Chains A and B, each alone.
Chain A
Amino acid sequence: MIEISSKLEEGIYYIHVKGEVDASSSIHLDESISQATQNHKKILIDCRELEYISSAGLGVFMSYINELEDKDIRLVIYGLSEKVKHVFQILGLDQLLTIKSTEEEAKYIVDGI
């Protein structure tokens, strides 16, 4: 149901999320974000192929909000479909996380230029 891949490119850690994130598959998303936040300061989450996210999946993003702030990590989510973006908005997570529509915009934020 979920496919997660990651790569390090030009000092930016990319996490690619594909498929559906629900209560059970959110564990994998949590693992990969947790790994990324341990060693990297610039993280991009590519959600162009994310089809669905449940509140439990959003709970994963939510649980890192404080850590990102404390460790001064820049994490940007990009490529959300309208539907998925709406879910973020309803919960209010769009106000706490940086969400961009394209990779360029997201990269721009992460690089802090």
Chain B
Amino acid sequence: MCRNSWPTVFSKKQIAKILATLGLIVWLLLALIDISNIYQGSNNFFFGYSGLVPRGLLIIMFFLSLSFYHLEIGKSDITNINDLIWKIFVTGLIATIGSLITRYLLVVAQYKPALINKMLIFFIYDVNTGLLIIFLTSTFIVWKKLILYQKSKSLIRFWNTFEILLLLSLLLTFANYQPFDTIFNLILGLLVLLTIILSVNLKWVAYLNFKQKWKSILLIGLIMLYIWYYFVTISDLSNRFSLSLNLSENVTFLALFIFNILYAAFSILVLLFNLPTSSVFEQKLEEVINFQKLSQATNTKQDEEQICEILLESSISAVVASGAWLEIRKNNSVEKKVLYNKISEQRKNKIESDIKNHFKDKQVTPNPIQSSRKTQLTVDLRDEEFKSALILPLFVQDREYGELCLLKDLPDGFNKEMIEIIRSFVNQASISIENYQLIQEAIENERYKEELEIAKRVQGSLLPETLEKNSDFEMIAYSKAAAEVGGDYYDTYRISEDKIALIIGDVSGKGTSAAFHMSQMKGIFQSLSLLDLSVDEFIKKANKAVGNCLDKKSLITASYYIIDTNRKSIQFSRAGHCPTLYFNHQKNETKFFETNGLGLGILRNEKFDEYVEVYELNYAPGDIIFLYTDGITEAKNSKGMEFGYERLASHLEKYTLKPLEEIRDRLVKKIYDFCETQTPEDDFTIVLIKFN
């Protein structure tokens, strides 16, 4: 009746206050008019007992009260049904006490002079009328809320029809009609019919538990009593003192009476009939809540043990078990943990051996734990306390995770429904535990990833940031690891003003282990190159060092160079590394230096020294040395074809006159294009030196 069209400047509370005040003013006006009529006679068309104004005021009061309760109760967010009923019970109680007091006054009034007596009767009648309107409208609003507890389109249509018809019937208040004539009966009959249709909407009953239902029955019973009391009081007063505004003969109020009392009666009946089944409903509700708890366990970061505890408690309450335990085996089956509930460890061990014996006797399975996924086992026990047991295994990530055992003090205590619900609990718990473990694994992996990222940064710093330079030559490099970290290595060291040491190496294997060996190689190079050794001495000493550092199956291939700008010579020794590619500018030809030599770590004794070979050459301007690792020559395309030595040599030949950067960048691009990927299968490294 008052929708959201109220000015927004008023809060809901303020509007309610205004409505209450207005209601009081209207009631006072009504009372004043009634009392003044004693003096002025009662036949005035407008202000008489049954004049238009008192009738209008009554209707206004009715609307004000309805609006007030619509705001107070209808629009409120009270969702507890008992609270709603309690509200009208209290309203009814106060109104009834008020009415009883006035009735006592009526008894007193009989001994007073006639005029005061008449005034008192009028006053009492008005008080009762006001209280009745308050009580009827508040009950009406609460019943409306209960009827529309679970709405459907057709229900709302019925309700709206009922409300509109009720409104229209108010118009009859102004009409001169005889009570219980045809129109009166027709309208009343229609309203009662709608009341009956609406009164079957009692879905809220199902949501009350046993205790709440009893409480509701009591309260609604008393509310019915109040309504009945009012009906009797009002019709009694009207009949006794022949007051013209007889509410008991007003179709709207009569319909309201009937609606309120009928719905109350229906409610009590349905509540009564629902009492025996309410425990089942409560049980189901609790199961749902427990189920939800289990499935939400991972969201709230609960650990495995907490999930297990929820499972144990939920299962016990679902089947009303008299004892239970949950055995958990952590990642390895050695570590065992048992959660006990209403049972001691000794009793558990005894019952467990009983169960095992039971299976031994029946020769089903020697151990219920080893039973297959789908089986659940119920066992009758010959124990003095526990008579039957239900055993269910828990599986997490396809691994036997634990075992749930529920005990009851009745023989054959687990029915099919119980087993089903426990099984779904167990399954849900398994999923939750699995999720929890997966999250933990993901966190762990994230940590490893970070560690690798750190390793990558550290390794990046192992490769030189700037390479040695000289007026005689320039040098650039490029290195790419297949994984986060790799095993390729290159470095330079200035031995003296005109002597520069250079190394390129490749550690066998890939990834982290290769990266560790590569860092060891850096240590060997940095310490040995200090000593200004000849290239063969360097290789021999490096082999010794590598032999002491690396495991039996690891080896490092390397080539060591000393560039002497004074003598314009290059001395080098190859320790199993890819042959150096050299471009002779004068002859305009490229050549691989396939000298002898063994990889470092292959022979870990003096015999190695026999295989070390030194090669020396003089460089001229325009010459290019091309150093690389096997990641380049062995780079494969999707057909399994290798990049190979020829392709490498022809690439170099093509761009010999270009700047070093261009040669390098073009080669890197060519390799990626060849492999059709940006992520090579093996680490690869290029070092280019061009002489001026």
Contacts and interface: CB of A to CB of B under 8 A. Distances in A.
A90 B578 contact: yes
Interface in B53-72: none
A51 B601 CA distance: 25
B599 A56 contact: no
A55 B630 contact: yes
Nearest to B513: A23
Interface stretch (B22-30, B205-213, B550-558): B550-558
A73 interface: no
Interface in B590-629: 594, 596-599, 601-604, 611
B540 interface: no
A63 B603 contact: no
A91 B576 contact: yes
Given A56-B508, A56-B509, A96 B598 contact: yes
Interface string B488-510: 00000000000000000010111
B130 interface: no
A12 interface: no
Interface string A83-113: 1000101111101100000000000000000
B642 interface: yes
Contact of A92 (B553, B602, B604, B640): B602
B509 A95 contact: no
A92 B576 contact: yes
B509 A62 contact: no
Interface string B624-645: 0000001000100000101000
Contacts of B506: 55
Interface in A39-54: 51-52, 54
Given A65-B603, A83-B642, A59 B553 contact: yes
Given A54-B508, A56-B509, A95-B598, A90 B576 contact: yes
A96 B602 contact: yes
B576 A63 contact: no
Nearest to B556: A55
Contacts of B552: 63
Interface in B549-582: 552-555, 557, 576-579
B553 A60 contact: yes
A93 B508 contact: no
A64 B276 CA distance: 84
B648 to A, nearest CB: 14
Contacts of B557: 55, 90-91
Contacts of A59: 508-509, 553-555
B553 A96 contact: no
A52 B510 CA distance: 16
A96 B576 CA distance: 13
A55 B611 contact: no
A90 B598 contact: no
Given A92-B596, A95-B611, A96-B602, A63 B553 contact: yes
Interface string A57-72: 0111011011000000
Contacts of B576: 90-92
B642 A62 contact: no
A22 to B, nearest CB: 8
A54 B511 CA distance: 14
A98 to B, nearest CB: 15
Contact of A62 (B511, B597, B602): B602
Contacts of B630: 55, 87, 90
A55 to B, nearest CB: 4
A92 B611 CA distance: 8
B555 A55 contact: yes
A87 B577 CA distance: 10
Contact of A55 (B508, B603, B640, B642): B508
**Residue from A26, A52, A55, A83 whose CB has the most chain B CB atoms within 10 Å:** A55
Contacts of B579: 90
B553 A91 contact: no
Given A63-B553, A91-B576, A23 B602 contact: no
Contact of B597 (A26, A63, A92): A92
Contacts of B642: 83
Contact of B599 (A26, A54, A60, A92): A92
B601 to A, nearest CB: 8
A62 B600 CA distance: 11
Nearest to B575: A92
A4 B634 CA distance: 23
A78 to B, nearest CB: 20
A52 B578 CA distance: 16
Nearest to B640: A51
A88 B292 CA distance: 65
Contact of A96 (B509, B603, B640): B603
Contacts of B603: 65, 96
A59 B508 CA distance: 7
Nearest to A92: B598
A58 B600 CA distance: 13
A90 B558 CA distance: 11
A62 B641 CA distance: 27
B510 A23 contact: yes
**Which 6 pairs show the lowest CB-CB distances between chains A and B?**
A92-B598, A55-B508, A91-B576, A59-B553, A56-B509, A63-B553
Given A62-B601, A66-B604, A90-B594, 5 more contacts: A55-B509, A55-B599, A56-B508, A93-B599, A95-B598
Interface of A: 23, 26, 30, 51-52, 54-56, 58-60, 62-63, 65-66, 83, 87, 89-93, 95-96
Interface of B: 506, 508-511, 552-555, 557, 576-579, 594, 596-599, 601-604, 611, 630, 634, 640, 642, 682
22 contacts: A23-B508, A23-B511, A26-B553, A54-B634, A54-B682, A55-B508, A55-B509, A55-B555, A55-B599, A55-B630, A56-B510, A56-B554, A59-B555, A62-B601, A66-B604, A91-B576, A91-B598, A91-B599, A92-B576, A92-B602, A93-B598, A95-B611
